[in-house]
C-alpha cells in the first residue's frame, strides 16, 4: 500500500535543477540586459538625456520584458494563485534592484568622476551585476514560489485522476 519513495529530491538533483534555473534566469536576464543597455545608450547618446534618468527609463522597460519571460517561461510551473501578490513583489524587488543599479551608476559617475560614455556603461554594468544577484535570490525565494510537493503517492494519484476526469468533462462539453 505504501511505497518507499524519497520525499525530497537528492542533493545532486536539486543542484542540477538550480543550475538549469540559473541558466534560464541568465537567458531571460540577457535579453533584458540587451534591452536595458540599448535603450540606455539611445537615451543618453541619441537624445542627450541625463544618465540616471536614462537608466531608470531603460531599466523599467527591461523589468517589464523580464517579467513576461519569468512568468510565462522560466517560472510557468510555479504557484500563480495570487498574481497580485506576485506582481507586487516582483515590482518591489525589481525596484530595489533598479535602485542598486542606479546608485552604483551615480556613485561611479558623480563620486569617482567616471563620466565618458563607456565609463558610464561600466558603472551601469557593475550596478547591474550586483542587482542581478539580488534579483535572482529575491525572485526565486519570494516572488515565484515553488508549488508545495505532495509527499503521499496515493494523494498524488487521486489528484491526477480528478484532473483527468475534469479534463474529460471539459472536452465533452
User: What is the mean pLDDT, run by run of 10 residues, along the chain of 173 residues?
Assistant: 54 66 85 94 95 95 91 76 82 95 96 94 94 89 69 64 64 56
- Per-residue confidence (pLDDT) for residue 86, from 0 to 100: 82
On whether residue 161 sits in a domain, the answer given is no
- Per-residue confidence (pLDDT) for residue 111, from 0 to 100: 96
On whether residue 106 sits in a domain, the answer given is yes
On whether residue 3 sits in a domain, the answer given is no
On whether residue 155 sits in a domain, the answer given is no
- Per-residue confidence (pLDDT) for residue 94, from 0 to 100: 93
On whether residue 50 sits in a domain, the answer given is yes
Closest to 70 measured CA to CA, from 91, 95, 97: 91
Cα separations (Å) of 40 from 43, 60, 126, 129, 141? 5, 11, 15, 16, 29
Convert 68-107 to b/e letters by CB count within 10 Å (16 or more is b): ebbbeebbeebeeeeeeebeebbbebbeebbebbbebbee
- Domain range for 121: 12-146
On whether residue 121 sits in a domain, the answer given is yes
- Per-residue confidence (pLDDT) for residue 4, from 0 to 100: 47
Round to whole Å and give the CA distance between 14 and 20.
10
On whether residue 108 sits in a domain, the answer given is yes
Axis crossing angle, helix 117-138 with helix 83-106, rounded to the nearest 10: 150
Q: How many domains does the chain have?
A: 1
List, in order, residues 6 or more apart from 155 with CB less than 8 Å away: none
On whether residue 86 sits in a domain, the answer given is yes
Round to whole Å and give the CA distance between 166 and 66.
33
pTM over 0.75: no
Q: Are 32 and 66 in contact (CB under 8 A)?
A: yes
Amino acid at each position: 500500500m505504501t511505497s518507499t519513495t524519497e520525499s525530497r529530491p537528492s542533493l545532486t538533483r536539486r543542484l542540477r535543477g538550480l543550475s538549469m534555473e540559473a541558466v534560464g534566469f541568465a537567458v531571460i536576464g540577457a535579453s533584458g540586459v540587451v534591452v536595458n543597455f540599448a535603450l540606455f545608450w539611445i537615451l543618453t547618446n541619441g537624445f542627450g538625456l541625463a544618465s540616471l534618468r536614462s537608466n531608470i527609463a531603460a531599466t523599467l522597460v527591461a523589468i517589464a520584458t523580464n517579467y513576461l519571460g519569468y512568468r510565462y517561461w522560466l517560472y510557468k510551473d510555479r504557484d500563480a494563485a495570487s498574481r497580485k501578490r506576485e506582481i507586487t513583489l516582483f515590482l518591489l524587488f525589481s525596484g530595489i534592484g533598479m535602485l542598486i543599479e542606479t546608485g552604483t551608476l551615480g556613485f561611479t559617475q558623480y563620486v569617482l568622476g567616471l563620466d565618458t560614455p563607456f565609463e558610464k556603461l561600466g558603472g551601469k554594468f557593475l550596478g547591474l551585476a550586483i542587482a542581478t544577484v539580488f534579483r535572482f535570490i529575491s525572485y526565486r525565494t519570494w516572488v515565484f514560489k515553488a508549488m508545495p510537493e505532495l509527499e503521499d503517492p496515493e494523494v498524488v494519484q487521486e489528484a491526477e485522476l480528478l484532473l483527468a476526469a475534469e479534463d474529460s468533462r471539459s472536452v465533452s462539453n
